[in-house]
Every structure is written in C-alpha cells, then in structure tokens.
Amino acid sequence: AAMRKARIERTKTVCTYCGVGCSFEVWTKDRQILKIEPTHEAPVNGISTCVKGKWGWDFVNSDQRLTKPLIRKNGAFEEATWDEALDLIASKLTEIKEEHGPESIGVIASSKCSNEENFLAQKFARAVIGTNNIDNCSRYCQSPATAGLLRTVGLGGDSGTMQDIETSDLVFVIGANPAESHPVLATRVKRAHKLFGQKLIVADIREHELAQRADFLMHPKPSTDLIWISAVTKYIIDQDWHDKEFLAKRVSNVDGYIKTLDKFTLEYAEEMTGLSKEDLIKAATMIHEANSVCILWAMGITQHSGATDASTAISNLLLITGNYGRPGTGAYPLRGHNNVQGACDFGTMPSWFPGYEPVGNSEIREKYEKAWGVEIPKDPGMDNHHMVEAIHKGTLKSLYLFGEEMGLVDANSNHVQSCFEKLDFFVVQDIFFSKTAQFADVVLPAAPSLEKDGTFVNTERRIQRFYKVFDPLGDSKPDWQIFQEVANRMGAGWNYSHPSEIMDEAASLAVIFEGVSYDRLEGFNSQVWPVHKDGTDSPLLYQEKFAFPDGKARLFAVDWTPPYEAGEEYDIHLNNGRLLEHFHEGNMTYRSEGLTHKVPGIWLEVSHELAEERNLTDGTLVKLTSPYGEVKVRTLVTDRVKGKEVYLPMNSFADDEAVNYLTSSYHDLVTHTPAYKEINVKMEILEAT
C-alpha cells in the first residue's frame, strides 16, 4: 500500500475551460486522473469548482487524440514523421512568402494555449514570416468590449477583480449568463446577493438562472441595448444624479457627450426597446441609490452589428455615475475561454504587440525590431474576418491555425469552410482531428495544458502558472516547441528550453508585464497586470488615473446601429450561447465521460406560446433555416424563453446541429466581431413526437 501511495502525484493546474481561472491540484497515478482537488490557496475559486473543472479532463487520455503528424497525399491523410511534416511546412511557407509576399500568409492563434505559446505565435508571424496577419478568437467574442474600453478608459480588460464584483452594492448583468458560462463567479454573486444584501439587475432576452434570481429583470427587444442604456444614462443626468465631482476632475468631453444624449428620451427608448418607462426609471434609480456598481456583460452585447458602440455606452454610464476606480465598481466584460485574455495580452492581434502597444507606433516597432533583429511591417495586419474574405478573393494563400475550431466557431460556417478549400497550404495544429483539420494539408498533434508548463490570464487580468502533469501523449508536442521547430527551419535561430524564458522575453518588452516572472508566480501565487518592476500588481485599475496620457477618462458619443434582418419569412429570433456542462464545439467536453453522461447533447429551447402555435413538444425534431444554411435539432419547451425567441446552445454534438450554419457574415462595424446574435430563422417540423 505504501508503494502504491508513493506513486500518487499532486500537481497544480489552472482550468482549461472558462475565463474565471479556477486553479486546483490534479491527483494522478501514471496517466490516470484520480481526482481534482481545489484548495484554499486558489486565489479565484478557493475550494469551489464547477462541473467542467471537476469532471472535464478525460479528453486528455482519449483514444481519439492526435498522436502523429499527418500529411495530405492524393486527397487522403497519411501519418508522417515530425521531420517530414516540419520540413514540408517550412519549405511551403518559405515558397509562398517568396512568391506572393509575407502578407499572403496568416496565423490564427488559440485562446486555449498558454501566454508563452501565443507570444511565440505572434513572434513567428511578425519576425519569421514578416506579417501582422495574426488574430485570435476574441474576434468572435469580446473584441467590441475591448474596443469600447480602449475608447473610454484606456485599457482593454476588466477594471477590477472578482473580489470587487462580490463586494459591490449593485451588480448589473447585461447579455451574459454567468451561471452557465462563468459558474464559479456566478456562485460568488449568488452568495453576495443572498447573504450580504447585494442588489442584482439582469437585462436579457432569456430567463437564465441569474435572471430568475434577480431583484429586477429587464427583457428588452433583441439588439436594442445601446438605446436603453443611453436612455438610463440620460435620465440619471436629467435628475442631476450624475457624479459631477468625479466628472470634473477625472473625465474629459463631458459637455460634448451629454449633448449627444438628447434623442435618447424615455419615450424613444420605450418605443424602440419594448421596455416601459417605469422599467428604465427603476434601473436608473437603483444605480443612483447604490454606492458602488459593477456592470458585467458578454456576448449578448458584443455579438451585434453595433457591439463596440453598445460596450462604449456601458462604459459611459459607469463614468457618468462615478463607478470606476473604487472598490466594488467597474466594467467587467466576462472572458469566455480560459486564456482569451492572455492571447490578446500577449499580442496575437493584428494591430497590437504584447501589452496593447500599437503596431502603428514607430518607437514601439523599433523596440521589437531591435530585440528580434528584423523589420516588422508598420501597418496592422488582417483580422480573422479579413483573412476569410482575402482567402475567398485569392490574396491570402496560406493559413497556419492552432487550437481553434474555426470551421464551426466562426460565423457562417459554410462560407468559412469553403474558404479553407481555396487555400494553397493550410496547417492545423490541435489535440483532436477537428472539423477544421479535415481541410488541412498538414495536421500537427499538439499537447493540452496538462502536458506542458505555462501561464494563463483569466478575465480579471490575473496571471497564473500551470504545471506539467503528464508527458505529451504519443508523439504530440507542446505548441511552443512546434513553433520553435518551424521557425528554426525558416532560419530563426530560437533557443528556448522552457516557457519561463519566453515569459522573461515578454516581460523585457511589454511594459505591463515588466515585473512578471515564473519565480513570482510559483505555486498558487498570481499577479494581476499591469505588474511593476518590483513585482507589485494592479487588481483595481484607475484609482488615481485612467490609462491615457492626460490621466483622464473620455466620454465617447455613440449611436445605435439597427440589427441585420434576414427578411419576413424568417420569423423566429434565434438566440444562442452556452450550456453549463459543455464547452463550445465540445471537442473536449464531449470526450469527457462524466459530462457527456450528464448531458449527452443539445436541444432547442422554445416557449410555451410557440409550442402551442406550432404543435411542438419536448423532443420534436425541427429544421431551422436561415439564408446561410440549416440545422436539425430537437425542441424542449421551457419558460426560459418567450414568444418567438428561441435558444440554441452552441455546444453542438453533431455536425448538422452547429448554430453557425445559420449565422451570417454580418459583423460589428468597428471590430468585425460576427453578429452571431442577429439571426432570424424559419422552422419546419421534421418529426413529431
């Protein structure tokens, strides 16, 4: 028994699923995962986890893992050695670069990979290929929030931590479903609401769990958020409830901005949003009566044609009421993936180097050019939306994509998948043979977080280390090692022996990480950026100044953009989002037995009214059609949705039920984030129950 016990190992890791960033110990024996044990030392979650963190790890040992490189030969994939695959990639990319220029190649980065891997991916794009054509999946989710915050307060992250959310007087949740998407954060809100008298307002078109618990639930018409948020802001100013001292001292463009609110009267908002005047006054009054307000938002705001402007309107409301820079206040765009924040922070974006230092700024560019001994193009590169269109046009010839199921997760899947077919050379690096991998020329087997060292950044800007638990399965390798091997075959001469050396390089270049080091992050220690040279970090931003040269925040005028409408025959509004038990396209969670046992697939939520009108019951098989494609799914009658608003989880189990066969290529006008939430469909019964 003593021998057996000695072989049990405990290793600290950080969850691979959502942006909350729970950390815990993994107990293992050989390759067997015995249990996940959260501990009091975990800075975010203490002794809590959700079902995904607790039971969602079997995928690591799935017999469907990719364990060997694959090369497409005569239309079929054949196993290859690493040397063959890497030599082929290096020679093809070099050839395409020489023939069509570096701008004919793009890189799609992964929010599932570490900060160090994302840092190397952007270095690979900029220094080895010579292009800023690099982007990550924040383009599909929170880019509009980042843009709205960069306009108004200067940094693109949450302005405080979960501690602030928990201690706030009023938590206002708009277009987010934390109980399923950010479960451990939701637990903290539920506790504060139940035990400490925290007030909770939810604005949503679906009555999810937090909506049902809210003190006040607002149900606006889809895609009208900017209007009612601006009307609430205007009403607060009209009542003279705005924080005049804060505005005078700390905010610019106050008078100019206030003038632009004239049209957002209660009457106009009532007509456009379907919310009553009483609702709007009640929200304004609750904000006015609270000493501290946090606003949390997610895809219900950001996946629309006017998403950056709606995010800006939220930040404007917080500024007008003085809800920045004090404990319990601030803006919290909730990050989806475990490391979508880090992928952005470490520079996998077409216009930003690591730490949000602009590519267009010559001093910053020179800093990188000197450090890397290369020239970097001065113009921002293509984002992933541009890349898809450029492939269709024939100007982008090659794509190197890692850890991203772009063929199902980007909007308008038929359009995206057909662009993959036009590529001259397509590399996909992943842990499973994904839908996207089916279109590749070379598929490389990567290693998940449990098989490597690294760091992730959670939604509150907290950097945390995770440690290697197992060796990579079969011949798979950590992504950072693969990039190094490809880069060196293209003449880069990189020599990293551990991810800590990559972090040291990032810290030497990006100001917000200057005090970050693996030593300081040892074990359950963490640092919240910006981190100063002496290692002190910044859990609560904007206490003294905002992140602009004059230290002042900026009110930014915005107007409403109407949503995309498909036409009258598409008479049902299709909302979409997550399920608690599964994550996105499900490549990991559907391969975890505990989760699949609990929830084996998805369903379409329909209202009682629609069920009655169309003869739907639980289990009716329906076909949904939009101008872009169709899906088949079974219905579930519920009171979580109302009228002709239905809800389809994005966690498709079968290929023909993936929501993005229905979505369009319409997008946020500023950031090109797809308008996933602007879909109308028609419904037809295929099989009654």
Q: Least distance to ligand SF4 from the beta carbon of 13, Å?
A: 10
Rounded to a whole number of angstroms, the minimum distance from the CB of residue 316 to ligand SF4 is: 30
CA 637 to chain centroid, in Å, comes to 29
Cβ atoms within 10 A of the Cβ of 468, count? 17
Of 184 and 650, CB closest to ligand SF4: 184
Minimum distance from CB of 275 to ligand SF4 (Å)? Answer: 31
Structure tokens of 192? 């504060």
Rg of the chain on CA atoms, in Å: 24
Q: Which is nearer to ligand SF4, 19 or 220 (CB)?
A: 19
Among residues 187 and 429, whose Cβ is nearest to ligand SF4? 187
Angle in degrees, 0-180, between the axes of helices 115-123 and 479-489, rounded to the nearest 10: 20
Q: Which is nearer to ligand SF4, 385 or 591 (CB)?
A: 591
Give the shortest CB-14-to-ligand SF4 separation in angstroms.
Answer: 8
* CA-CA-CA-CA torsion sign (158, 160, 163, 165): negative
Pick 45 or 417: Cβ nearer ligand SF4: 45
Minimal distance, residue 292 CB to ligand SF4, in Å? 24
Instruction: Compute the least distance from the CB of residue 403 to ligand SF4, in Å.
Output: 17
d(CA 398, CA 391): 8
Dihedral angle computed from the Cα positions of residues 645, 646, 651 and 652, in that order, rounded to the nearest 10 degrees: -130
Closest contact distance (angstroms) between CB of 339 and ligand SF4 is 11
Task: Please report, as a single letter, which amino acid is at residue 498.
Answer: H
CB of 36 to ligand SF4, least distance (A): 9
Using the minimum distance from each CB to ligand SF4, give the nearer residue, 43 or 325: 43
Q: 183 vs 220, which CB is nearer to ligand SF4?
A: 183
Give the Cα separation of 456 and 113 in Å (integer): 8
What DSSP string runs through 439-498?
A: G-SEEEEB--GGGS-EEEE-TTSEEEEE---SPPSTT-B-HHHHHHHHHHHTT-----SS
Q: How near is the Cβ of 460 to ligand SF4 at its closest, in Å? A: 12
Under the rule (CB under 6 A), what is the footprint of ligand SF4?
15, 17-18, 20-22, 45, 49-50, 52-53, 183-184
- For ligand SF4, which is the closer residue by CB, 22 or 237? 22
Nearer to ligand SF4 by Cβ, of 15 and 637: the residue is 15
Residue 361, both tokens: 């700024």
DSSP 660: G
CB nearer to ligand SF4: pick between 179 and 218:
179
Q: How far is the CB of 674 from ligand SF4 (least distance, A)?
A: 23
How distant, in Å, are the alpha carbons of 113, 585, 646 from that of 682?
38, 23, 11
Smallest distance, ligand SF4 to C-beta of residue 294, A: 18
Which residues does 5 contact at the CB level (< 8 Å), separation at least 6?
A: none
**Minimum distance between the CB of residue 278 and ligand SF4, rounded to whole angstroms?**
36
CB nearer ligand SF4, residue 590 or residue 666: 590
Using the minimum distance from each CB to ligand SF4, give the nearer residue, 12 or 385. 12
* Nearer to ligand SF4 among residue 183 and residue 448 (C-beta): 183
Q: What is the DSSP string of 391-442?
A: HHHTS--EEEEES--HHHHSSSHHHHHHHHTT-SEEEEEESB--TGGGG-SE
Question: What tokens were used for 552?
Answer: 């002042």
Which residues make Cβ contacts (< 8 Å) with residue 194, sequence separation at least 6?
A: none
Find the DSSP H helices in 290-361: 299-302, 307-320, 340-345
Structure tokens at 484: 């190094």
* Cβ-based neighbours of 499, under 8 Å, separated by 6 or more: 114, 116, 117, 452, 453, 454, 455, 480, 518
Beta bridge partners of 625: 630, 682
Q: Helices 115-123 and 499-509 meet at what angle, rounded to 10?
A: 70
CA-closest candidate to residue 328, choices 287, 289, 293, 285 = 293
CB of 15 to ligand SF4, least distance (A): 3
Nearest-CA neighbor of 16 among 41, 39, 50? 50
Q: Which is nearer to ligand SF4, 97 or 112 (CB)?
A: 112
Determine the straight-line distance between the first and last CA of the chain, rounded to whole angstroms.
55
Q: Provide, rounded to whole angstroms, the least separation between the CB of residue 71 and ligand SF4.
A: 35
CB of 179 to ligand SF4, least distance (A): 10
SS3 (DSSP) at 244: helix
Q: Note if the bond before 354 is cis, omega within 30 degrees.
A: no
Dihedral angle sign, alpha carbons of residues 479, 485, 489, 492: positive
Q: Which of 149, 331, 302, 290 is nearest to 225 (CA)?
A: 302
Residues in the chain: 689
Residue in the shown chain whose Cβ atom is closest to ligand SF4: 53
**Nearer of residues 53 and 530 to ligand SF4, judged by Cβ:** 53
Task: In angstroms, give the least distance from the CB of 466 to ligand SF4.
Answer: 12
Cβ closest to ligand SF4, residue 22 vs residue 411: 22
